[in-house]
Structure 1
């Protein structure tokens, strides 16, 4: 029965084409790897087996076929799958495991280096456990398929007690050659300093250059490689030493995805200007952070959630970095508890300042597909995972807006008029709407600030947001250098500012289709300057209107504005 359900689901999701297998290692063609986090484990412990591919092109769907020793390994779970897609629960028949994932709708496939699956097994018997990657089927967005037979093997030794593995402690670093089974991926052992509990690995210039040469640029002109640091028992911090060119390079845009057991950091060679860093190498440090100096109330809110300290060093000197033009993406492994699984949107990220204050990172979110909490940042520091459930006494009856208001408040994007009241029916002013918009899209002054409007004081809380918006060409005012910040914003002006902001932030590129407005009986009331913007937001599904009316001249209340911000947030991170 399980096999029938699997095949039925698979047939509905992916039209795999039955082609004869051919060599997966043809020049320039896809290549694959089967790797394990540990070569030796103790009885009862868990191990992760990763199936990865490189030089992939337009992958719309795939199926993995893997054999494992069921007498020694017990399947526990799998993480992976294509973004914005659907993954099928693995089918396990004896020692054979099949896992499939596909995108949905008419979209392009994914290209480059992909982690296809990370499968967790529990060691249930001592001895040598074998695993074999039998075949991989790939389907592109035109539903054309290819079958590859890499026949790769991995072996895990299971013992009754730890033998210390290949990292017995002491000082020093280890440099390993890149994993030749997958191009553009470097897999490293690291050596533990038993005093500092820091595990260190090194990638020299030759290894970096070789990995970069192995990969092609993606559609954005970026070359992306991976450096994977194997887990070291007892380590509370991992350091990767890279050539300075990995952080401050000329020429091609290069990203390095540094994968450690504590977290993953995606850096780029545009973080610093060429010549800005003295020295030939830089160390990226990913460490468990010390919470002892934080306020007790904050410690209690963080609880047992992970908190990482991410930093850069050259020699013994810590490097300060902040660059809004080259953000870093961080992924922290996290398994939500039963309560959190009911409301994963309330899993958030806090930036912990040097003074011990916590500042929400609005884009922090839990990704169920990868089992991580993901966020982007323009500066390195301490970051904590937290679970926040914020609500207000006056939104209980607003079924259409309550959840959205609570999520945005928990992420620090919106605030109430007090700790307990949100005032959902209060009109939103022009200034407050722009503050919300800038905060949701996390736009800052990195590209310059415009001049102050004549009716805005420098001391006004919305002053910076309006100057940023004016500098970016979002806010033009109402003539005579006036913005009218305290006026209630009309729905059409709300949509004009939103559409303009999304385009300037390069989150919207399509042309609007005015036919989208035909379903509204008041479309003739939309001002000429707003028609394109209203049509674009309706087309994206960010604005639905009220039945058969779009009400362009109506004002926007705080609940409606929150719903729009929630829709924008999910549009940005879908």
Structure 2
């Protein structure tokens, strides 16, 4: 390859093997076969070759007076294009490359002159300033990764090298020993062809208390390990392909400070002069606990919340009109008392048209008692209040006396659903506590109403359904719930021409502005559902965005429609989405945080060093603060680098944890990471995330493969987020 092509490769993320060798050089010609042999042994499918004689020794700029112009000399016209030569017009090309890309270069030449090295030196033809660098003697093979820094933060991109020049004149049998020396030297170099270890898998001990767990995936890697928290590392035998004898725990594994630099040396021992490179960065590998037969599956029981509950007495508060009585409680529905239902009759206020229902304290007590039959349920239980609202004008008020509401709020295992038929809400235990903590001592009233848009709004949005949600404690409006999310559902039937993925929800701010709410249409339930941390006026909207390059039958069409309708993604122009376009790391972080309603941070000095000042800057700051993205060496994020699939799923998994939405296992499937043919290719940093997403049914792979290092198209990225947002 040309020098510019090589510079481009060395500027990319990844680990690369480079041969600095010469087509005209007998040493390279005779030894490249060993490089090919060992590269095949270690699964390296590409070695980049650059010749510092810029025409490869085959151009026409050679002297006809030289007997064999394809064999270079150190002077004369044969070296017109030889950049490594001192004091020529091309000298700066070589010195700039070495100084700019290979700061930790070691070669036989660098060890000469009592360690001062043999330099390539000259004068820059433009600046007229002196230039110099260390000298490489071909053939020179090195492993390179620009992400590598040592523990002191010094850039060390060369992970190891082998210098193969010279004849290796070894006594005894020089042919076989010389060949074996070259092969062994290359094998030692190729025992680290990664920046840091990947593909390592922890396997649990066979029984609790035993130390027969192991870490697999280490074949042909020069590694060492230690239990996290210990000081000493233990080297893995070079012939091993598994670390054995491990107790359950978290282990740190890294590439060793093994010999990976070999320079030519003629000696009877058959060993080349060696250069030791620094340790690689460690990765954490978890050797898990069981499950073991007859063991404890774990879990936790939070117990009862002993926080004091404000109970200043009873006040009818907003109650108006006559109220009915609660009907007999049905038996708990679902496993382990998952839900209990009571149907409440109501009376319609003739002036307001609102159906008003009173839930008595005895009804609440009986309902809780019924749910506790046979012991306190381990899982959250839902109390459902269904309101008979016949004759009302689409407005229902459910009132619970404060003492009865106290009893609800004190039970941390319960959540309350109020179902008015045309709308329903679910308040979890935390929301119940927030409502109950209001200083107003009156009863708690929940009001669900259906209304209409004013004429001017209909001109913009059309005749869309509108709902008002209110909660009162006495006379005090409770509009927020301390960060707790309330589940809201509105029954809805899409019009024949409506795309269900473009059905959205707006809420009306205090200033009368519309803001999008993360919600969607559930065909099975026949309702639009969303979660909110506050009550307001809500509108079921429709925002269908068509792209000329997204056919309705495309596998990604639903995903594009869904995310575009919600402002999470947009086209590359007004009419095109460019589904085959690639996604960068910065672009995906923006998509992901938008999808999860995570706002960007203000500019911060603690951001990544390459976050810049652009559309993704604030999102990168938020991702770093929340632990969604840890970045690369040198506090970089590489936002413009194409994202790999395993990076994408790792960011997604961490973002879910940061948003308080942990991934739950889908018990309806038996999916597991171990079931994929390429599971060993998943890097250690991504294994926890991909395992969780596979078990949750969010990540299904393709043809029994996960393709962890594959790049992601725009269509694939939006499909992943669509699967996440609609997964239920």
Secondary structure of 2:720's partner? helix
* Residues 321, 356 of structure 2: 8 Å contact kept: yes
2:426 aligned partner:
266
The whole-number CA distance in structure 2 between the counterparts of 1:281 and 1:546 is 56
Q: Which of 376, 391, 416 matches 1:233?
A: 391
The change in CA–CA distance for 1:497 and 1:450 in structure 2 (over 3 A counts) is: farther
Shift of 1:209: 2.5
Counterparts in 2 of 1:134-533, with a 5 A limit? 172-182=321-331, 184-216=340-372, 221-244=379-402, 246=405, 249-271=409-431, 272-273=433-434, 275-292=437-454, 295-300=457-462, 303=463, 305-324=464-483, 326-340=484-498, 343-368=499-524, 370-396=525-551, 399-443=554-598, 452-455=606-609, 460-502=614-656, 505-508=661-664, 513-518=672-677, 520=678, 526-533=682-689
The change in CA–CA distance for 1:392 and 1:308 in structure 2 (over 3 A counts) is: same
The change in CA–CA distance for 1:550 and 1:316 in structure 2 (over 3 A counts) is: closer
Q: Which has the larger radius of gyration?
A: 2
* Residues 175, 188 of structure 1: 8 Å contact kept: yes
Q: Which has the higher contact order (CA 8 A, sep 6+)?
A: 1
The whole-number CA distance in structure 2 between the counterparts of 1:362 and 1:451 is 31
The whole-number CA distance in structure 2 between the counterparts of 1:549 and 1:268 is 40
* Residues 348, 385 of structure 1: 8 Å contact kept: yes
Secondary structure of 1:173's partner? coil
The change in CA–CA distance for 1:275 and 1:392 in structure 2 (over 3 A counts) is: same
Secondary structure of 2:409's partner? coil
The change in CA–CA distance for 1:496 and 1:230 in structure 2 (over 3 A counts) is: same
* Residues 294, 356 of structure 1: 8 Å contact kept: no
Secondary structure of 1:249's partner? helix
Shift of 1:385: 2.0
How many residue pairs get matched?
391
The change in CA–CA distance for 1:423 and 1:243 in structure 2 (over 3 A counts) is: farther
The change in CA–CA distance for 1:471 and 1:219 in structure 2 (over 3 A counts) is: farther
Secondary structure of 1:287's partner? strand
Shift of 1:258: 0.7
Structure 1 residue runs without a partner (length 5+): 1-169
Deviations 1:439-490 (A, max 9, x none): 33445699xx998414377975445544443344322121333333333322
The whole-number CA distance in structure 2 between the counterparts of 1:219 and 1:261 is 27
The whole-number CA distance in structure 1 between the counterparts of 2:522 and 2:451 is 20
* Residues 253, 270 of structure 1: 8 Å contact kept: no
The change in CA–CA distance for 1:277 and 1:294 in structure 2 (over 3 A counts) is: farther
The whole-number CA distance in structure 1 between the counterparts of 2:690 and 2:575 is 34
2:38 aligned partner:
none
The whole-number CA distance in structure 1 between the counterparts of 2:327 and 2:509 is 37
The change in CA–CA distance for 1:527 and 1:306 in structure 2 (over 3 A counts) is: same
Shift of 1:287: 0.9
In proportion to residue count, which structure has more strand? Answer: 1
Shift of 1:211: 1.6
The whole-number CA distance in structure 1 between the counterparts of 2:720 and 2:423 is 32
| Aligned alpha-carbon RMSD (Å) | 3.7
